[in-house]
Structure 1
Amino acid sequence: MSGPLLVLGSGGHGRVVADVAALCGYERIAFLDDAPATGADLPFPVLGPLTMLGELASDWPMAIAAVGHNGVRQKLFQSLRDAGFAQPAIVHPTAVISPNARLGEGVFVAALAVVNVGASIGDATILNTGARIDHDCAIGAACHIAPGATLSGGVTVGARAWLGTGCSVRQGITIADDAVVGVGAAVVSDLPDAITYVGVPARPLTGP
């Protein structure tokens, strides 16, 4: 892929997305951010706040929402769609994506992630470093599958769910919209509610 790319968000995740986009051959990359971090080592310029989207559309036809918060990222994705921007999937060169898998618009796939045959990844979802999505999984829109998370075959993940670092999900499991799975959790039964689940096996988080 080549051409100019706007990255919405210059925080940690935004910088990772921009870095991978450069590896993928995007020739011109810049950030938009309402409150860029001071002192951050930004590899590309910050053109200004998000309100500049409309005036930049003709010169920057492609953009990607690159903030970590799932709900905010989904809203930015919709704003980009409404404004007519193309939203490419950005995939690290070391990721392995089956030719028979489907990536939605604005998806980010980090280094060493794997997406196997028949899997479907919803718009604006993050598959982070080393995430493994096995055959026939269905990942909803604006999810975040954190580093090292492993989903066995046929798992269904609802929109905006967050699956924590190193968690494991048994085959055939369904996870609700907006559910959060804790770091290292083992999911062996369906998670039906938009709450946080932790532990081995994963169970609802209670108490402080």
Structure 2
Amino acid sequence: MNKPIIIIGNGGHASVLTEILLLQHRDILGFTALKEEINSYGLKYLGPDDIVGKYSPEEVELVLGLGTVRISNVRHNIFEEMKSQGYTFSTCIHPKSIISLTAILAEGTQIMAGAIIQPHAQIGENTIINTGVIIEHDCLIGAHVHIAPGTTLSGGVIIGSDSHVGTGSSIIQGIEIGKNTLIGAGSVVVSNIGTSKKAFGVPAKEV
């Protein structure tokens, strides 16, 4: 049986996830934020993030409603802290996404509307596959990654953990991108990019 959900955050990304949860007919207890805020779906404000501790890990599941627009450790740190306390993160999958039966999705993965994930792709925990993203066959995406809207990954691409691939980027087949790396919006990646790098342009070059 699905447990009631607490959403961490109340911004735009949280709104997208709220709609997915409502489409899944999940029971949402409310949301957390630094201070009391109005929620556009009428969800209840529960308190700051540490209010989660008032609920047993056996009673609730969490959804991490914080998005990213660049490299950030915030999502990673919140996920790991809550996991260390025994909490589980729900995997959110929009019903208008297409996911291969052989794809593997780790805990807390978020798949938005129009995303396509092809056979034997693997998506790491707490990773965002945003609106309209195409993940082709045999791609390997690490944990805490954000693949921003409209991005295309051809077959066999590897993305290291904690990386951010910007909106509308394209990565050709067999490319490897290291951990904690930023690919700028609209970039076309045709060669490997190392760890803790920034790359922009057509073709993308490290800067």
With the shorter chain as reference, the TM-score category is over 0.9
Give the fraction of aligned pairs with identical amino acids, expressed as a percent. Answer: 35
Aligned residue in 1 for 2:49: 50
CA RMSD of aligned residues (A): 1.7
The amino acid of 2:12's aligned partner reads G
Residue 59 of structure 1 deviates from its aligned partner by 7.7
Deviations 1:103-150 (A, max 9, x none): 010111100001111000000000000011010100000000000000
Q: 1:192 aligns with which of 191, 194, 200?
A: 194
Aligned partner letter, 2:13: H
Q: Which amino acid aligns with 1:141?
A: A
Q: Is 2:149 the counterpart of 1:150?
A: no
1:173 is the counterpart of 2:175: yes
Q: Which runs of 5+ in 2 are unaligned?
A: none
> TM-score, normalised to structure 1's length?
0.92
Describe the shift of the 1:95–1:29 C-alpha distance in structure 2 as closer, same or farther (beyond 3 A).
farther
Task: State TM-score, norm by structure 2.
Answer: 0.92
Q: How far does residue 81 in structure 1 lie from its aligned partner after superposition? A: 1.2
- The answer on whether the counterparts of 2:35 and 2:47 sit within 8 Å (CA) in structure 1 is no
- Secondary structure at the counterpart of residue 64 of structure 1: strand
Q: Hey, what does 1:27 align to over in structure 2?
A: 27
State the one-letter code of the partner of 1:93. P
- How many residue pairs get aligned? The number is 204
Secondary structure (helix, strand or coil) at the match of 2:7 reads: strand
Structure 1 ranges of 4+ moved more than 3 A? none
- Residues 121 and 59 (structure 1), Cα distance of their counterparts in 2 relative to 1, 3 Å cut: closer
Deviations 1:49-74 (A, max 9, x none): 11111112268421122212441111
Query: Given the superposition, is the C-alpha separation of residues 129 and 47 from structure 1 closer, same or farther in structure 2, using an over 3 Å criterion?
Result: same
Q: 2:86 aligns with which of 74, 84, 90?
A: 84
Q: Deviations over 1:141-198 (max 9, x none)?
A: 0000000000000000001110011100010000011111111100000001312211
